[in-house]
Amino acid sequence: MKVLVAGANGKIGKILVDLLQKSDRHIPRAMVRKEEQAQFFRQKGVDAVISDLEGTVDELAEAAKGCDCIVFTAGSGGHTGADKTLLVDLDGAVKTMEAAEKAGISRFVIVSALQAHHRENWSEAIKPYYVAKHYADRVLQSTKLNYTIIRPGGLLNDPGTGKVEASENLKRGTIPREDVARTILASLDEPKTYRKAFDLVSGNTPIEEELKRL
Q: Which residues are catalytic?
A: 129
CA distance 24 to 30: 17
The type of residue at 124 is E
